[in-house]
Amino acid sequence: MAGRALVLGGGGVGGIGWLAGMVYGLSESGVDLGDADVVFGTSAGSAVAAQLLALRAPQELYERQLAEPEGEIPAHLGPGVIARFVWAALTSRTPEAYGRKVGRWALTARTPTEAARRAAVESRLVSPQWPDGPLRITAVDTATGTLRVFDKDSGVPLVDAVAASCAVPGVWPAWPIEGRRWTDGGVHSPANAHLASGYERVVVLAPIASGGGPLASAADQGRRLAEQGARVAVVTPSPAAKEAIGRNALDPAVRAASARAGREQARAHVGRVSDVWGG
C-alpha cells in the first residue's frame, strides 16, 4: 500500500460549502489535502475537487463559496422524490439494483433543461479543462446501475463529468455521455470511499454521514479501508454544521453559512487528520 487519497462525498450545494470550509480550515493549521496522490469526488465533492486541484489555493476555494451564488438554480427534494429513494432502497439488495431503479425514474422526471444545468455547473468550476492533478469523478449508469470513474484520460469533458456526478435523480437531468445517461455518483454510495482501497493514508470528508439499505455509509467504508491496513480519518458534519446546511442542502443560499461552519469545524479535527495525512 502506498500513497494518500482524499475522498470528497456528496451533499448538495450546502455540501459544497462545507467541504470547501473544511479543506480551508485544515489548511490554516498546516494540513494541505490538495497534495493528495488521488482525489475522488462524488456529486458535491466532484465540484470541490475540481476547484481544489485547479486553484491549488484552499483560501480562494473557500472565498468562492462566500460570494453570491450566481448561476445556481434553487431546488429541493420534494416528498415524492424522497419516497422514491426510500422505496428503491428498501427493495434493493445491491447498489447496482438501487441504481437501476432510481435510474429508470430519473430518465422520466421533469427537470430544468440540460442547457440551464450545464450553465450552473460551469459557474462552479474554475476552468472547463481537467486540472493537471489526479482527479477522479464518479457517476452511475442509469441503465445498469454501475459506478463509473471519469478522469482526464476518459475523453469526457470536465463539465460533463461533474454534471453527471451531480445529477441528483428527480431534480437534475440524467446526463448524456457517450450515448448513455448518467446520474449522481452518490446513488452508489454517499462518499464512494471504497475507491480508495489500496492507499495507505485516506481522508474522507463526507457531507452525508448516513447510508441506507444497500448503500454503505462513509464510516462503514472507512472501517473497511482500515481493516485492509490503511490509516483513515472520516469527518462528517458537526451538529452546528448540520444546522448551517439546514433541511435543504440544494438551496444555494446555504452555501456561505455551510462554508463558515466547515471552516470552524475543521479545528476540532486537525490532530486526527494530520496524524493520518502525515507530512
Question: Which residues does the annotation mark as catalytic?
Answer: 43, 184
Residue of 111, 135, 134, 112 whose CA lies nearest to 47? 135
Q: How far apart are CA 279 and CA 274, in angstroms?
A: 8
Counts for the chain of helices (H) and strands (E), in that order = 11, 8
Angle in degrees, 0-180, between the axes of helices 255-266 and 12-28, rounded to the nearest 10? 30
Q: Which three cell numbers stand for residue 34?
A: 490538495
Q: How far apart are CA 53 and CA 15, in angstroms?
A: 18
Q: How far apart are CA 77 and CA 238, in angstroms?
A: 22
Please report which helix (H) or strand (E) contains residue 140, including its range: strand 135-141
Provide the b/e sequence for 19-51 (b: ≥16 CB within 10 Å): bbbbbbbbbeeebebbebebbbbbbbbbbbbbb
| DSSP per residue, 212-245 | BTTBPPHHHHHHHHHHTT-EEEEE---HHHHHHH
